[in-house]
Amino acid sequence: MPETLVEFKKVNKKYGHIHALRDVSVSLNKGEFVSVFGPNGAGKSTFLKLLCTMTPPTSGQILYENTPLNKLQDSFRSRFGVISHQPFLYSELTALENLRFYAKLYDVQNIDERIKVLLDKVELYKRRNDKVRGYSRGMLQRLSITRALLHDPEIVVLDEPYTGLDTHASDILTRILMELFDDHKTIVMVTHNMKQGYDAASRLAIIKGGKLVFNEQKANISVQEFDERYIEAVSR
Amino acid sequence: MKYLGSISAIVSKDVLHELKSREIVVSMLLFSVLTVVVFSFIFEPGSQFKNEVVGGILWMSFVFAGILGLNKSMMSEVTGGNFSALLLAPVDRSAIFFGKAISNFLFIAMVEIFTIPLFMVLYNVNIFAYGAMPVVIFFLGTYGFAILGTLFSIISVNTRTREVMLPLLLLPIIVPVILSSVQALNIYILGHDPADAVKWMQLLAGFDAIFTVVVFAVFDFIVED
């Protein structure tokens, strides 16, 4: 029986008169890799924001290991590592200064050692003293991965992480995601890239018009069938 | 301890960012100095009337330079989604607010340290003739401005018209702080009994305390969406 980590119960999210998410009920199990697909404006990013406690639901309930969101301490957020299409980095600071700042916020122990290990992994250790302003898109995203993994999060949330990446950066990201998955981390990734999303995932989901219209284990559906289901779901 | 550590991390990061970019203090200082210099040409040398209004001119230069700096300070957080990253951090969100407010306070204080001596020379007034108490006025006034300014800069930074929105939101609310600061400072400029300034400073401290408590209470709700 898989261990439920996060559970959405009839979750709705409204921004003013815009209904971004409608009656979403879904469970996220420990060690799963969930790829979430959907057209632009479907509510995927809102789903991620709700998941990582950035914003509360308008109605419904989100339970984290059976504890509702409003009962959780601020320290709970350290269980999430977020990689977005935005780097979350200060352009005038060096890679090292950026990472040290986030490490202090997340109360990371042995900061410099941890930073070295992660920067080596993304092949940026030699550029650690360069200002982030001079980094390419791919380097920014690799540094962003380091920032998100500094505190060894249990749940890794990715919002279109492959956007604008070159092949090298894309390969590094895929390799790191696979390592995290092997390490039994829970991963939720929103992506437009069907192939990368399908290949990496253990579960597939489609959100359209704020509704979760598809949610299935990858083992139960082939890539062709999923392609067909996606086209059917978004063109409906 | 974690709370203070988070504030200290944010302040250290902001100071380091400013030392490297020199975006905020330099632009604020230029604006502030320019305001003080331009207004100094208005008055006849030896005019008695000038002493009654120059305190207001000095605070106006700080307020408008401060608005410029607040916009820039928050822009560095919004660019690249950094403010979202702060909200995702496992720290009390009010610590994020106070970290930013203290950074803004330090930047405005830097501008004041350079502008006040120039002001005293150009307008031929000695604010410190009766001692160092005006330092308390500048401290309290700048603190109130930094607290409210930081709050409204966070609210306005995501709007398309942020440069207009910040003064529109901030200036009506900040009136009690500016008024108390100008009145207290005028007592020292005009050479009146310094004891009269105490009631204005008490009022200023009262507003600062109220604004601090209110911001502490509402900040979580403001950044939720």
pLDDT tens digits, A71-84 = 888 888 899 999 98
Residues B62 and B108 sit within 8 Å (Cβ to Cβ):
yes
Q: Is there a contact between A107 and B90 if contact means CB atoms under 8 Å apart? A: yes
Checking DSSP bridges between strand A203-208 and strand A4-15, what pairing results, if any? unpaired
Residues A189 and A158 sit within 8 Å (Cβ to Cβ):
yes
Classify residue B46 as exposed, middle or buried by CB count within 10 Å of its CB (0-12, 13-18, 19+). Answer: exposed
Q: Is there a contact between A89 and B82 if contact means CB atoms under 8 Å apart? A: yes
Search chain A and give the residue with CA nearest B82.
A88
**Euclidean distance between CA atoms B181 and B141, whole angstroms:** 6
pLDDT of residue B56: 93
Search chain A and give the residue with CA nearest B12.
A101
Name the pTM for this structure.
Answer: 0.91
Structural domains of chain A in order of their starting residue, each with its CATH number:
4-235 (3.40.50.300)
pLDDT of residue B1: 54
Cβ atoms within 10 Å, residue B79: 14
pLDDT of residue B168: 93
Cβ atoms within 10 Å, residue A128: 17
User: How high is the mean pLDDT of chain A?
Assistant: 91
Nearest Cβ partner for A84 among B9, B81, B90: B81
Beta bridge mates, A94: A131
What crossing angle do the helices spanning B93-122 and B133-156 adopt, rounded to 10°? Answer: 130
The conformation of residue A2, written as its DSSP 8-state character, comes to: P
**Euclidean distance between CA atoms B5 and A73, whole angstroms:** 17
Domain boundaries, chain B: 2-223
Nearest chain A CA: its distance from B191 CA (Å): 46
pLDDT exceeds cutoff 70 at A1: no
Q: Is there a contact between A92 and B82 if contact means CB atoms under 8 Å apart? A: no
pLDDT exceeds cutoff 70 at A189: yes
The tokens describing A150, both together, are 């500094």
What mean pLDDT do residues A167-177 have?
A: 88
Contact status of A107 with chain B (Cβ, < 8 Å): yes
Which has more confidence, B194 or A2?
A: B194
Residue carrying the six token digits 């359209």: A208
**Euclidean distance between CA atoms A69 and A85, whole angstroms:** 26
What string of pLDDT tens digits covers the 225 residues of chain B?
589 999 999 999 999 999 999 999 999 999 999 999 999 888 877 777 888 889 999 999 999 999 999 999 998 898 888 999 999 999 999 999 999 999 999 999 999 999 999 999 999 899 998 889 999 999 999 999 999 999 999 999 878 888 889 999 999 999 999 999 999 999 999 888 888 899 999 999 999 999 999 999 988 888 876
> Is the complex ipTM more than 0.85?
yes
Contact status of A90 with chain B (Cβ, < 8 Å): yes
**pLDDT tens across A190-226, in order?**
998 888 899 999 999 999 999 999 999 999 999 899 9
Residue B12: phi and psi, rounded to 5, are: -60, -40
B→A contacts (Cβ < 8 Å), by residue, are 2, 5-6, 9-10, 12-13, 16-17, 20-21, 76, 79-82, 84-93, 224-225
